[in-house]
Chain A
Amino acid sequence: MERREVLKLLASAAVLPALTPDAFSLLRGMHAAAAETPGLKALNPHQDATVTTIAELIIPQTTTPGAKAAKVNEFIDLILADWYDDATTARFLAGLADVDQRSQKLFGKDFVDSTPAQQNQLLKVLDDEATVARKQQAADEAASRKHALAPLNFFGMMKKLTVLGYYTSQVGFEVELHKSIIPSSHAGCVAISGVA
């Protein structure tokens, strides 16, 4: 990304509420660092570890595989590199950095180095904030009839991508939801107890 574009992004504070002063180095380092993570294009190893950890906290392994097994991090990397526009990707990465800042402030450690209990505590705060932000965004978009590419709140983005990445994966579709491309039967209205 060019410096000029970064400055433009920083100037548009309205769409970048979570952008931190670290954005310069984040954005400049984005492509260079990506090479350090085999197979990934947008996330450096630390970012990838953070994304993978958060995704697994949202959809953990239970009796069925979770987000990590479904490689949700790879899907998120693809969206950041090839689907989001630069501003949205920058906003996501800034939000990711903010998670570490908050974790440092609260626990003196980066998010991935915190205990599961600490991680859950911070995630609860992020989720509550995302719920408020989602309602505000929905109201604003209904009024303006203009829809952003993605949730404006970082955790809103993270959760949406995690849910999408998981349930559209083979693991999510076949193992978690027991679905098949060609349904075994069809009927309009059947009791769930009667469904195998």
Chain B
Amino acid sequence: MSATKTHLVEQLKEGLDAPICLTWELTYACNLECVHCLSSSGRRDPRELTTAEAKAVLDELHDLQVFYINIGGGEPMIRRDFFELLEYSIGRGIGVKFSTNGAFIDADKAERLASMDALDIQISLDGTDAVTNDAVRGEGSYDTAIRAMNHLRDAGFGEFKISVVVTRHNVDQLDEFKALADSFGAQLRITRLRPSGRGADSWHDLHPTQAQQRQIYEWLLAHGENVLTGDSFFHLNALGEEPLPGLNMCGAGRVVCLIDPIGDVYACPFVIHDEFKAGSVRDEGGFTRVWKHSDLFAELREPQSAGACASCGSYDACQGGCMAAKFFVGIPLDGPDPECVDGHGEAAMLAASAGERPRPMMDHSKPVRVTGPERVPVSLVRR
């Protein structure tokens, strides 16, 4: 890493005047129930921000000069004021990228989306075939996503994104995902699976094996130039001399944060838990005050201890990995990442297993139905 870049990263760790990457989950309501859902979405929360409250937040983000926001959910298109908020945001100079499962993108909506500037769409897909995808995202979700992509292409939307959470079961499909994206003139985005939300329960079965982690690292080195990752694989940098593209740091509370559907502000999209809640946009001073003055964010912007990893030669490369991943498997925040490529995560998880693992706190999962044909099987196919 160049001296200038190191210097920049050090400054970014002290936080920015406003986030670069702000995720806003607009609703906990969702038509799907993916087994790895970070926000345990399903049912709408009655305390959801109103249209007026959401617009007031957008006004604040405008004043803070936030360039763009990442909208997600739940399924954000379920909100009846979805287009109204989209247009309001873009009208205020805040570009929008939103994540969707595609269920509500028909030909008309695709036309409407294609006519908007400063808008980007991310269609979630976790397998290049229905069997692989639907095991995680639910029956019929593969066809739904492909149908939405066809509509976007037919409407001339241009380059949208296909967003993949890499799991044990789809890691062999990376080339196929890339080919699929290319065939739509789309850009591929792959991100890391975290044990957050419902992922706390499915992570142990889904997360890539040690050998597969190397596979991801090497694939990214070979193909990474046009593939987005949201910088989520920096823990893999300990695998070799050549770092993956990106800032190689945890941005939580420093350059990244999350606003949840009821206006609570968390350090990042992967830690919806009281321990990482910095405040609420409904508090006096709004989002701005939370970002600039919350105790939690101030703490995250302090130099972090390398803790148990201090004596490891790889710490500079991996930075100890992902805070959220450690938290939800019960590893102390200054311990190794559960997917530490040097294998220190296994022992740390074992040591942690004696204690109680923190549970995700905002569970909006739909009530479990004992019978019913559309219920997604929880047991996953091993390949």
A binds B: no
Question: Residues on B close to A: CB < 8 A?
Answer: none
Question: Residues on A close to B: CB < 8 A?
Answer: none
